[in-house]
Structure formats: structure tokens, C-alpha cells
Structure 1
């Protein structure tokens, strides 16, 4: 399989990760487009023995960070609650829990959200994820731990005592396990 075919196989994964980073489908498409354009332009820098997927994800994440820092200097403002107009009836507990989890993930610091979504969506090894994000494995584990704890706390109803992951059962427990 040639380089272009390997890159094309990764596009759906790149889109999904970009969407989780930006929370905006237009910005996610732009991010993936920038990544693909850069990958094709710098194809000679890819080591043939290396993993093209990790190389692309690392590139996508770096472009995201660059866009984020340049947007901050331009003082661009992004939509804070893109799903705010969604209406969900109260009898849909699972939907409410998912909405709360998505809201919690949006509120995470970018570094924690990037680590969490990479692990949850693409399921690389911790070593590969740390390499993609350009951090040490211990730092990755720390970011994941803080992100998971924040999501748990955020999704916990105010009228209940704090729950631990082991005390959660049923569909809520399955959801927390999926977040790793």
C-alpha cells in the first residue's frame, strides 16, 4: 500500500479526533484539511518504518495547538455551547447523562480533553498516545486521571453523595468504563 492510500485510510479517524478537539464541524474539517495538506507536502519526512497513523495524529494535534494559540492572539471567540438549543425530555436519563458527559468534556482544559478523546476514540496504547501528544506516559496518565475525575464529578447529581467508579452500576457504569 502506498503513502496516499495509508493516509486516506486515516481520514475518518482524523475527522473524529479533530471534531472532539474543536467541538465545531467546520473547524474540524479545516483542521483535517490542513493536516492532510501538510502530510502530503512533508511526505518525505515520514519514516517508512514508522506508524503513519501516529505521525498524522501528532501532526493534527500540533496544527490544532498552533491554530489555538494564533486564535488567542487574534482574540477569536468560539461558540461556548453549540448544543444549547437541544431539547431533551426528562424521561431520557441515558440521553441526559450523555449530554452531561459531553458538556463536561467540553469544559476540560484542552490538554486533558485531547488526551481523553484520543484514548477514548482511537484507543492507542498509552505509549503511542503519549508519543502523538508529545508528552511522557506519566503525564498522559495524569491528564487522563484528572479528566476522568472531572467528568465523573460533573455528571454526579447534586442531591447524591459522591460516587466512586466502583459504586456506579448499570448504564452509568458502562459509560464510565468506556471513558477508560
Structure 2
């Protein structure tokens, strides 16, 4: 009976090509059909039509594959998958906690100067006028605050402490805590 399987290959290929309309997929389907038939040959009932049994295996394999792939969405450039990803929040929360602790160690003058420039986006001139100091003094306070924060946070460059969302969130939090 195992020798008869090869005789049905042309008919199986034609049927698979009719179902899939793709020569590569049809060859894969025929191969999986023959593998299933080979492993389940003991389930074949002698005296029945072997070719019909093979066609049934092929058809059922095609339907199973079709149901499986019907749920899939083609995403060649992975754009859809990238939109589904969620970035981990643990690291940014830990960084925010460290930044809040470091901000608490700044002098009130440095903290206020950094708050006006980095969080509120004020110009050095406007921030100096609000603090009642010279522009050079305010720039010095902001510079020293950034340098101290970079040291406390073990950062290589104090300019990494720009007006990003993390810095703004930490400064906003410390402003709320200071008001309480």
C-alpha cells in the first residue's frame, strides 16, 4: 500500500493547486498530506478507496490551514506589530523616583531656577526677573543644579537633563510637594 502513494502524486498536486492557486503552497500541502497518510496508514480501512482517503486528508489539511491563516493579518514592514507593543514602565518609574530624590537635595534657589527654566520653559531673562537676580546668577544656578543632578544620578552629561517628560514630571511633582 505504501508503494501506491506515489502513484497518486499527480492527482494530489492538481487538486492542491486548484485549492491554493499557489504552486509552492500546493507542494507543501501535498507533502503534509503524504506525511499524515504515512503516519496514519494503520487507520486506513483496507478495501476502501485509497485515493479518496488521500484527497480527504488533503482537503481537510487545506481547510485547517485556511482557518488558521484567515485570522492572520499581513504586516510586511511590522508597522502594525510596533503599534501593538507597550514599552515597559518600570525603568522610567525608577528613574523618576531617583530624579525626585535628587531634586530634593538641591538648594531652594537652584531648585527654583531649574523649575522655571526646565519645567516651565521660561527664558533665562524671564526666570531671572521672577527670581529678582541677574541673568548670569540664574544661569549659574541652573548650571550648578544640572551638574549636581547629573552627579547624583550618575549621568555622564548634565545636558541629558533637558526639558523632557521625565524631567517635567519630576519637577511638577516636587513643586506640588513643596506647596504642601
TM-score interval, normalised by the smaller of the two chains: 0.3 to 0.5
TM-score by structure 1 length?
Answer: 0.40
Larger Rg: 2
TM-score by structure 2 length?
Answer: 0.40
Q: Which has the higher contact order (CA 8 A, sep 6+)?
A: 1
